[in-house]
Amino acid sequence: MKTLKALLFIVLFSIPSLAFADLTGRWSCNDGGTYYVRQLGKEVFWYGEHNPNNPGWSNTASGYIDGNRIILRWADVPKGSIMQEGILILQTGPYQNQMQSIFKTGGFGGSIWNRS
């Protein structure tokens, strides 16, 4: 019985830590870009660019975490030559080392991000 209680305690208190794991860091995307993500609590911010010296595109995004989903408003910035904007909804994997788009508007090119 003690073992079962200890196991239940570990499971119950490890689930919230997965839900709020920190996404802060560098991410590579299948659009060829690098994204620099900062998480503050449930808020998420990023700067992404295709090529730091001469980017065809560069964008920023901000939004919030809702469970295993990240809801973002993104916009291209004038460091690149493309000027679009839209909404992204991403879903994180169980260890939050990958994010995948499940909804996007505005012509956003990327769909899979991996922590790099």
All structural domains of the chain: 22-115 (2.40.128.20)
pTM of whole model > 0.85?
no
Distances in Å between the Cα of 93 and the Cα atoms of 14, 17, 69, 97 are 16, 14, 10, 7
Which range among 5-9, 39-43, 61-65, 111-115 shows the weakest confidence by mean pLDDT? 5-9
**Angstrom distance (rounded) from CA 94 to CA 87:** 23
Q: Is the pLDDT of residue 29 over 60?
A: yes
Share of the chain above pLDDT 70, in %: 83
**Angstrom distance (rounded) from CA 102 to CA 116:** 21
Confidence of residue 93 (pLDDT cuts 50, 70, 90): confident
Site of tokens 């839209």: 86
